[in-house]
Amino acid sequence: MAEVINRYASIDLFMPEDSHRVIREHVGANQPFSRQVDAWWIAFCLGIRDNQTRPLPDRRTKFMDGTILSSDPWRIIHLELIALGLRGEEILTHPRDVVQLATEHANYGLELLVDALTGQNEPTLAMMNFLDPTTA
């Protein structure tokens, strides 16, 4: 298999400060997410699913840089395929624009995740139910 090049390694990944506070509480052992990037990725997918975006607010938190994408190279491929489908071939020559596109979709999805997690006694179960299409 060919090596996947991470053109996003030097680009910071952000989420809204308010969302980050909630997501950070739900990352780790016995939590819905193993890593913050996992929550961000699910949020990105929710934004894509619903074709919704939210701009990154001024009050933001850097939770990682793009090097994290190298730990799961399929994310890079997925990210680029979505960017290609939404914006065309030109966007792939501008890695910061690809990350901005992902971030804006993730910001929408983060709103949904935060709503699903807030005030839950069993956040992992709440997240599983929220993401299960048969319960919608």
Locate the domains of the chain by residue range. Answer: 12-71+82-119
Residue 32's Cβ-count burial label (10 Å; 0-12, 13-18, 19+) is buried
pTM summary value: 0.90
Each residue of 118-131: pLDDT tens digit? 887 787 777 777 77
Does residue 75 surpass a pLDDT of 90? Answer: yes
Q: Across all residues in the chain, what is the average pLDDT? A: 92
User: What is the mean pLDDT of the segment spanning 46-56?
Assistant: 96
Each residue of 78-118: pLDDT tens digit? 999 999 999 999 999 999 999 999 999 999 999 999 998 88
Q: Residue 1: what pLDDT?
A: 55
